[in-house]
Chains A and B, each alone.
Chain A
Amino acid sequence: MTGQACHLRAVGELSPVADRSANFVLSSFTSAESPNARLPDGVALRTLSDRWDGAQQITEVYRGDWQLDVAPAQWNFVSSKPNTLRGVHAHPDHWDYLHVVSGEMLLGLHDLRPGYSTFRLAAQCHLSGKRPVGIAIPPGVAHGFYFASHTTYFYALSQYWTSTSELGCRWDDPALGLSWPTSDPLLSQRDATASSYAELAKGVAAALARGSIRP
Protein backbone atom coordinates (compact mmCIF):
# COMPACT_ATOMS: atom_id res chain seq x y z
CA MET A 1 0.00 0.00 0.00
CA THR A 2 2.99 2.29 0.12
CA GLY A 3 4.80 4.03 -2.67
CA GLN A 4 3.42 5.66 -5.77
CA ALA A 5 0.57 6.98 -3.72
CA CYS A 6 0.74 10.42 -5.18
CA HIS A 7 -0.94 10.35 -8.54
CA LEU A 8 -1.44 14.05 -8.42
CA ARG A 9 -0.77 16.95 -6.20
CA ALA A 10 -1.97 20.47 -6.64
CA VAL A 11 -1.23 23.26 -4.24
CA GLY A 12 -2.66 26.53 -5.30
CA GLU A 13 -5.21 29.21 -4.88
CA LEU A 14 -8.56 27.53 -5.02
CA SER A 15 -10.49 28.43 -8.10
CA PRO A 16 -13.51 26.21 -8.43
CA VAL A 17 -14.90 25.44 -11.85
CA ALA A 18 -18.40 26.58 -11.15
CA ASP A 19 -21.62 25.78 -12.87
CA ARG A 20 -23.02 29.29 -12.82
CA SER A 21 -26.58 28.24 -12.24
CA ALA A 22 -25.87 26.04 -9.26
CA ASN A 23 -22.56 27.62 -8.32
CA PHE A 24 -21.54 24.15 -7.37
CA VAL A 25 -18.61 21.90 -8.12
CA LEU A 26 -18.26 18.16 -7.95
CA SER A 27 -14.84 16.56 -7.97
CA SER A 28 -13.25 19.30 -9.97
CA PHE A 29 -11.10 22.27 -9.27
CA THR A 30 -8.27 24.11 -10.88
CA SER A 31 -5.24 25.76 -9.43
CA ALA A 32 -2.63 28.08 -10.83
CA GLU A 33 -0.06 25.27 -10.86
CA SER A 34 -2.29 22.44 -11.99
CA PRO A 35 -5.17 23.54 -14.17
CA ASN A 36 -6.42 19.98 -14.54
CA ALA A 37 -6.19 19.01 -10.91
CA ARG A 38 -8.83 16.67 -9.61
CA LEU A 39 -10.33 15.98 -6.22
CA PRO A 40 -11.23 12.52 -4.91
CA ASP A 41 -14.64 11.23 -6.06
CA GLY A 42 -17.47 12.64 -4.00
CA VAL A 43 -15.51 15.56 -2.56
CA ALA A 44 -17.80 18.49 -3.20
CA LEU A 45 -16.70 22.09 -3.25
CA ARG A 46 -19.09 24.96 -3.16
CA THR A 47 -18.21 28.61 -3.47
CA LEU A 48 -20.26 30.52 -0.93
CA SER A 49 -21.84 33.88 -1.53
CA ASP A 50 -21.35 36.92 0.65
CA ARG A 51 -23.93 39.64 0.86
CA TRP A 52 -24.18 42.84 2.79
CA ASP A 53 -27.16 43.79 4.92
CA GLY A 54 -26.40 47.34 5.90
CA ALA A 55 -22.96 47.21 7.50
CA GLN A 56 -23.15 43.52 8.22
CA GLN A 57 -21.49 40.88 6.04
CA ILE A 58 -23.52 37.68 5.74
CA THR A 59 -22.12 34.41 4.38
CA GLU A 60 -24.54 31.60 3.67
CA VAL A 61 -22.52 28.58 4.82
CA TYR A 62 -24.97 25.72 4.52
CA ARG A 63 -28.49 24.91 3.38
CA GLY A 64 -30.05 21.49 3.76
CA ASP A 65 -31.51 21.75 0.25
CA TRP A 66 -28.12 22.06 -1.43
CA GLN A 67 -27.07 18.93 -3.30
CA LEU A 68 -24.68 17.69 -0.67
CA ASP A 69 -24.59 14.18 0.74
CA VAL A 70 -24.11 15.56 4.24
CA ALA A 71 -27.05 15.58 6.63
CA PRO A 72 -25.49 17.26 9.67
CA ALA A 73 -26.02 15.62 13.04
CA GLN A 74 -23.74 18.09 14.74
CA TRP A 75 -21.63 21.20 14.13
CA ASN A 76 -18.29 22.05 15.75
CA PHE A 77 -16.25 25.23 15.87
CA VAL A 78 -12.47 24.92 15.96
CA SER A 79 -9.74 27.44 16.58
CA SER A 80 -6.14 26.62 15.68
CA LYS A 81 -2.90 28.31 16.64
CA PRO A 82 -0.18 29.08 14.06
CA ASN A 83 1.81 26.05 12.84
CA THR A 84 -0.87 23.57 13.94
CA LEU A 85 -1.54 20.45 11.93
CA ARG A 86 -4.69 18.41 12.58
CA GLY A 87 -4.71 14.91 11.14
CA VAL A 88 -4.20 12.96 9.03
CA HIS A 89 -7.58 11.35 9.77
CA ALA A 90 -10.12 9.24 7.88
CA HIS A 91 -13.63 8.41 9.03
CA PRO A 92 -15.18 4.99 8.46
CA ASP A 93 -18.74 6.17 8.78
CA HIS A 94 -19.35 9.89 8.41
CA TRP A 95 -19.01 12.87 6.13
CA ASP A 96 -17.44 16.17 7.12
CA TYR A 97 -18.52 19.50 5.66
CA LEU A 98 -16.27 22.39 6.56
CA HIS A 99 -16.00 26.12 6.14
CA VAL A 100 -13.06 28.34 7.10
CA VAL A 101 -14.42 31.36 9.01
CA SER A 102 -11.18 33.29 9.50
CA GLY A 103 -7.56 32.73 8.55
CA GLU A 104 -6.43 30.07 6.11
CA MET A 105 -6.28 26.29 5.97
CA LEU A 106 -4.05 24.17 3.77
CA LEU A 107 -6.20 21.10 3.20
CA GLY A 108 -4.61 17.80 2.21
CA LEU A 109 -6.75 14.94 0.88
CA HIS A 110 -5.89 11.38 -0.01
CA ASP A 111 -8.37 8.83 -1.28
CA LEU A 112 -8.13 5.50 0.59
CA ARG A 113 -11.14 3.78 -0.96
CA PRO A 114 -10.07 0.77 -3.05
CA GLY A 115 -12.13 0.41 -6.18
CA TYR A 116 -12.76 4.12 -6.62
CA SER A 117 -11.46 5.80 -9.76
CA THR A 118 -9.57 8.27 -7.59
CA PHE A 119 -8.12 5.63 -5.25
CA ARG A 120 -4.75 6.92 -3.97
CA LEU A 121 -5.29 10.33 -5.49
CA ALA A 122 -3.79 13.09 -3.35
CA ALA A 123 -4.80 16.73 -3.60
CA GLN A 124 -4.09 19.89 -1.63
CA CYS A 125 -5.71 23.28 -1.69
CA HIS A 126 -5.90 26.47 0.33
CA LEU A 127 -9.22 27.43 1.89
CA SER A 128 -9.43 31.02 3.04
CA GLY A 129 -11.93 32.97 5.08
CA LYS A 130 -11.59 35.73 2.48
CA ARG A 131 -12.91 33.60 -0.39
CA PRO A 132 -15.46 31.48 1.40
CA VAL A 133 -16.13 27.93 0.27
CA GLY A 134 -17.72 24.88 1.78
CA ILE A 135 -16.17 21.49 1.16
CA ALA A 136 -17.68 18.07 1.80
CA ILE A 137 -15.34 15.15 2.48
CA PRO A 138 -16.71 11.59 2.18
CA PRO A 139 -15.91 8.65 4.46
CA GLY A 140 -12.70 6.93 3.46
CA VAL A 141 -11.00 10.07 2.15
CA ALA A 142 -8.11 10.87 4.50
CA HIS A 143 -7.63 14.53 5.33
CA GLY A 144 -5.15 16.75 7.15
CA PHE A 145 -5.45 20.45 7.97
CA TYR A 146 -2.46 22.78 8.32
CA PHE A 147 -2.73 26.34 9.67
CA ALA A 148 0.18 28.75 9.13
CA SER A 149 -1.63 31.49 11.05
CA HIS A 150 -4.44 31.64 13.59
CA THR A 151 -7.47 30.14 11.87
CA THR A 152 -11.04 29.26 12.80
CA TYR A 153 -13.39 26.88 11.02
CA PHE A 154 -16.92 25.59 11.40
CA TYR A 155 -17.74 22.04 10.38
CA ALA A 156 -20.58 19.57 10.27
CA LEU A 157 -20.49 15.82 10.86
CA SER A 158 -23.13 13.56 9.40
CA GLN A 159 -23.04 11.43 12.57
CA TYR A 160 -22.43 12.28 16.19
CA TRP A 161 -18.75 12.52 16.94
CA THR A 162 -17.18 9.66 18.90
CA SER A 163 -13.53 8.92 19.50
CA THR A 164 -13.84 5.61 17.66
CA SER A 165 -15.11 7.21 14.47
CA GLU A 166 -11.64 8.42 13.50
CA LEU A 167 -8.79 6.44 12.04
CA GLY A 168 -5.48 8.17 11.50
CA CYS A 169 -1.90 8.00 10.31
CA ARG A 170 1.25 10.07 10.63
CA TRP A 171 0.79 13.41 8.85
CA ASP A 172 4.23 13.13 7.24
CA ASP A 173 4.02 9.57 5.96
CA PRO A 174 5.50 9.95 2.46
CA ALA A 175 2.96 7.51 1.02
CA LEU A 176 0.26 10.16 1.51
CA GLY A 177 1.84 12.26 -1.23
CA LEU A 178 1.11 15.43 0.70
CA SER A 179 3.68 18.17 1.14
CA TRP A 180 3.34 20.43 4.16
CA PRO A 181 5.15 23.74 4.63
CA THR A 182 6.53 22.69 8.00
CA SER A 183 8.69 19.96 9.46
CA ASP A 184 7.68 20.44 13.08
CA PRO A 185 4.00 21.32 13.46
CA LEU A 186 1.95 21.43 16.67
CA LEU A 187 0.20 18.05 16.88
CA SER A 188 -2.10 16.36 19.35
CA GLN A 189 -0.54 13.48 21.21
CA ARG A 190 -2.75 11.11 19.28
CA ASP A 191 -1.69 12.51 15.91
CA ALA A 192 1.99 12.56 16.95
CA THR A 193 1.88 8.86 17.77
CA ALA A 194 -0.42 7.80 14.94
CA SER A 195 0.27 4.70 12.90
CA SER A 196 1.62 4.39 9.38
CA TYR A 197 -0.17 5.04 6.09
CA ALA A 198 -0.15 1.30 5.44
CA GLU A 199 -1.99 0.61 8.71
CA LEU A 200 -4.54 3.33 8.00
CA ALA A 201 -5.09 2.11 4.46
CA LYS A 202 -5.71 -1.38 5.83
CA GLY A 203 -8.16 -0.04 8.40
CA VAL A 204 -10.13 1.91 5.83
CA ALA A 205 -10.19 -1.01 3.39
CA ALA A 206 -11.47 -3.27 6.19
CA ALA A 207 -14.20 -0.75 7.10
CA LEU A 208 -15.17 -0.52 3.44
CA ALA A 209 -15.35 -4.32 3.18
CA ARG A 210 -17.58 -4.42 6.30
CA GLY A 211 -19.86 -1.95 4.60
CA SER A 212 -19.43 0.74 7.20
CA ILE A 213 -18.23 3.16 4.54
CA ARG A 214 -21.21 4.38 2.59
CA PRO A 215 -19.94 7.22 0.47
Chain B
Amino acid sequence: MPIGVRLMPLTTHSDSRGDLTEIIRNEWHESPPPVQWLVTRSGPNIMRGVHVHLRNWDYACVVAGEIIVGLHDLRATRPAVPSALVRLSGARLQALIIPPGIAHGLFSPGESTLLLGASIYYDGTDDRACRWDSPELGLDWPCTAPELSARDRDAGTYSALRTALQTAATIHP
Protein backbone atom coordinates (compact mmCIF):
# COMPACT_ATOMS: atom_id res chain seq x y z
CA MET B 1 0.00 0.00 0.00
CA PRO B 2 1.35 3.48 -0.80
CA ILE B 3 2.59 5.30 2.29
CA GLY B 4 -0.15 7.30 4.03
CA VAL B 5 -3.04 5.27 2.65
CA ARG B 6 -4.87 3.68 5.55
CA LEU B 7 -7.12 0.62 5.39
CA MET B 8 -8.91 0.15 8.67
CA PRO B 9 -11.16 -2.76 9.67
CA LEU B 10 -14.42 -1.62 11.22
CA THR B 11 -16.30 -3.43 13.99
CA THR B 12 -19.84 -4.49 13.15
CA HIS B 13 -22.10 -5.17 16.14
CA SER B 14 -24.83 -7.67 15.26
CA ASP B 15 -27.94 -8.71 17.12
CA SER B 16 -31.34 -10.16 16.24
CA ARG B 17 -32.46 -6.86 14.67
CA GLY B 18 -29.54 -6.40 12.28
CA ASP B 19 -26.24 -4.64 12.81
CA LEU B 20 -24.53 -1.34 13.53
CA THR B 21 -21.07 -0.20 12.46
CA GLU B 22 -19.24 2.91 13.57
CA ILE B 23 -17.92 4.23 10.23
CA ILE B 24 -15.90 7.08 11.67
CA ARG B 25 -15.25 8.71 15.01
CA ASN B 26 -13.31 11.88 14.30
CA GLU B 27 -10.96 11.06 17.20
CA TRP B 28 -9.74 7.94 15.36
CA HIS B 29 -7.71 9.79 12.77
CA GLU B 30 -5.14 12.52 12.46
CA SER B 31 -6.29 13.15 8.89
CA PRO B 32 -8.87 15.92 8.50
CA PRO B 33 -12.45 14.70 9.14
CA PRO B 34 -14.98 14.66 6.30
CA VAL B 35 -17.04 17.84 5.90
CA GLN B 36 -19.09 16.36 3.08
CA TRP B 37 -20.60 12.90 2.50
CA LEU B 38 -21.85 11.32 -0.69
CA VAL B 39 -23.60 8.02 -1.19
CA THR B 40 -22.82 6.61 -4.63
CA ARG B 41 -24.58 3.68 -6.28
CA SER B 42 -22.97 1.87 -9.17
CA GLY B 43 -24.20 -0.81 -11.50
CA PRO B 44 -22.01 -3.61 -12.88
CA ASN B 45 -18.72 -2.91 -14.68
CA ILE B 46 -18.47 0.77 -13.78
CA MET B 47 -15.14 2.56 -13.32
CA ARG B 48 -14.74 5.97 -11.71
CA GLY B 49 -11.34 7.59 -12.15
CA VAL B 50 -8.43 7.62 -12.22
CA HIS B 51 -8.46 10.87 -10.22
CA VAL B 52 -6.07 12.59 -7.85
CA HIS B 53 -6.75 15.39 -5.37
CA LEU B 54 -4.45 18.28 -4.56
CA ARG B 55 -5.87 18.95 -1.09
CA ASN B 56 -8.76 16.57 -0.39
CA TRP B 57 -8.60 13.43 1.74
CA ASP B 58 -11.14 10.78 0.73
CA TYR B 59 -12.75 8.51 3.32
CA ALA B 60 -14.36 5.52 1.60
CA CYS B 61 -16.51 2.70 2.94
CA VAL B 62 -18.36 0.16 0.80
CA VAL B 63 -21.62 -0.90 2.46
CA ALA B 64 -23.14 -3.09 -0.28
CA GLY B 65 -21.52 -5.11 -3.03
CA GLU B 66 -17.82 -4.65 -3.66
CA ILE B 67 -15.43 -2.13 -5.16
CA ILE B 68 -11.85 -2.63 -6.31
CA VAL B 69 -9.81 0.49 -5.58
CA GLY B 70 -6.64 1.10 -7.58
CA LEU B 71 -4.09 3.34 -5.87
CA HIS B 72 -0.98 4.97 -7.31
CA ASP B 73 1.40 7.34 -5.54
CA LEU B 74 2.04 10.54 -7.50
CA ARG B 75 3.75 12.45 -4.69
CA ALA B 76 7.28 11.24 -5.41
CA THR B 77 9.05 10.03 -8.53
CA ARG B 78 10.22 6.75 -6.99
CA PRO B 79 7.95 5.84 -4.07
CA ALA B 80 8.73 2.68 -2.10
CA VAL B 81 5.27 1.31 -2.92
CA PRO B 82 4.04 2.90 -6.13
CA SER B 83 0.73 1.05 -6.65
CA ALA B 84 -1.80 -1.28 -5.06
CA LEU B 85 -5.25 -2.76 -5.65
CA VAL B 86 -7.55 -2.96 -2.62
CA ARG B 87 -10.85 -4.80 -2.46
CA LEU B 88 -13.60 -3.25 -0.33
CA SER B 89 -16.65 -5.37 0.43
CA GLY B 90 -20.01 -4.63 2.03
CA ALA B 91 -19.82 -8.09 3.62
CA ARG B 92 -17.01 -6.91 5.94
CA LEU B 93 -16.87 -3.16 6.39
CA GLN B 94 -13.55 -1.35 6.18
CA ALA B 95 -12.59 2.30 5.94
CA LEU B 96 -10.09 3.38 3.31
CA ILE B 97 -8.40 6.76 3.74
CA ILE B 98 -6.76 8.21 0.62
CA PRO B 99 -4.46 11.22 1.09
CA PRO B 100 -3.94 13.97 -1.48
CA GLY B 101 -1.49 12.99 -4.19
CA ILE B 102 -2.58 9.35 -4.31
CA ALA B 103 -4.29 8.70 -7.65
CA HIS B 104 -7.25 6.38 -7.33
CA GLY B 105 -9.79 4.60 -9.47
CA LEU B 106 -12.87 2.79 -8.20
CA PHE B 107 -14.14 -0.23 -10.13
CA SER B 108 -17.52 -1.76 -9.32
CA PRO B 109 -17.79 -5.31 -10.73
CA GLY B 110 -21.48 -5.59 -9.75
CA GLU B 111 -24.07 -3.49 -7.93
CA SER B 112 -22.44 -1.56 -5.12
CA THR B 113 -23.06 1.24 -2.64
CA LEU B 114 -20.26 3.44 -1.34
CA LEU B 115 -20.17 6.02 1.46
CA LEU B 116 -17.64 8.65 0.46
CA GLY B 117 -16.45 11.40 2.79
CA ALA B 118 -14.42 14.39 1.61
CA SER B 119 -12.32 16.67 3.80
CA ILE B 120 -13.00 19.75 1.64
CA TYR B 121 -16.06 20.84 -0.32
CA TYR B 122 -16.04 19.58 -3.87
CA ASP B 123 -15.83 22.47 -6.33
CA GLY B 124 -14.13 20.85 -9.31
CA THR B 125 -10.80 22.67 -8.84
CA ASP B 126 -9.14 20.03 -6.69
CA ASP B 127 -9.26 17.09 -9.12
CA ARG B 128 -6.91 15.98 -11.84
CA ALA B 129 -7.42 12.84 -13.91
CA CYS B 130 -5.82 10.41 -16.30
CA ARG B 131 -6.96 7.36 -18.28
CA TRP B 132 -7.75 4.44 -15.94
CA ASP B 133 -5.76 2.06 -18.19
CA SER B 134 -2.54 4.06 -18.40
CA PRO B 135 0.17 1.37 -18.12
CA GLU B 136 2.38 3.61 -15.94
CA LEU B 137 -0.23 3.35 -13.15
CA GLY B 138 0.87 -0.26 -12.66
CA LEU B 139 -2.69 -1.34 -11.87
CA ASP B 140 -3.76 -4.82 -12.91
CA TRP B 141 -7.49 -4.10 -13.18
CA PRO B 142 -9.89 -7.08 -13.30
CA CYS B 143 -11.67 -5.54 -16.29
CA THR B 144 -10.93 -4.60 -19.88
CA ALA B 145 -13.81 -2.38 -21.00
CA PRO B 146 -15.52 -0.76 -18.01
CA GLU B 147 -18.25 1.84 -18.37
CA LEU B 148 -16.85 5.35 -17.86
CA SER B 149 -18.22 8.87 -17.45
CA ALA B 150 -17.54 11.18 -20.40
CA ARG B 151 -14.91 12.99 -18.36
CA ASP B 152 -13.05 9.82 -17.46
CA ARG B 153 -13.30 8.47 -21.00
CA ASP B 154 -11.71 11.65 -22.37
CA ALA B 155 -9.09 11.95 -19.64
CA GLY B 156 -5.48 12.51 -20.71
CA THR B 157 -2.39 10.39 -20.37
CA TYR B 158 -0.39 9.56 -17.29
CA SER B 159 2.48 11.79 -18.37
CA ALA B 160 0.09 14.67 -19.00
CA LEU B 161 -1.22 14.17 -15.45
CA ARG B 162 2.35 14.23 -14.07
CA THR B 163 2.99 17.47 -15.93
CA ALA B 164 -0.31 18.97 -14.73
CA LEU B 165 0.61 18.15 -11.15
CA GLN B 166 4.01 19.81 -11.51
CA THR B 167 2.41 23.03 -12.72
CA ALA B 168 -0.60 22.90 -10.37
CA ALA B 169 -0.64 24.22 -6.87
CA THR B 170 1.42 22.06 -4.56
CA ILE B 171 -0.14 18.95 -3.13
CA HIS B 172 -0.99 19.59 0.53
CA PRO B 173 -1.13 16.37 2.47
Contacts and interface: CB of A to CB of B under 8 A. Distances in A.
A84 B78 CA distance: 53
A127 B134 CA distance: 43
A54 B61 contact: no
A191 to B, nearest CB: 9
Nearest to A78: B20
A55 B46 contact: yes
Secondary structure class of chain A's binding surface, majority of residues: strand
Interface residues of A, number: 36
Contacts, number: 111
A186 B70 CA distance: 41
Interface in B30-74: 33, 35-43, 46, 48, 61, 63-64
Given A53-B149, A77-B63, A59 B93 contact: no
Contacts of B35: 63-65
B53 to A, nearest CB: 16
Given A54-B150, A77-B63, A160-B27, A64 B22 contact: no
A57 B37 contact: no
Nearest to A59: B39
B152 interface: yes
Contacts of A86: 17
Contact of B39 (A55, A76, A154, A186): A154
B38 A60 contact: yes
19 contacts: A54-B147, A54-B150, A55-B43, A56-B41, A56-B48, A58-B39, A59-B40, A60-B37, A61-B38, A62-B36, A62-B37, A64-B35, A73-B26, A74-B23, A74-B26, A77-B61, A78-B19, A80-B17, A102-B113
Sorted nearest first, the 4 A-B pairs with minimum C-beta distance are A54-B149, A64-B35, A80-B18, A74-B25
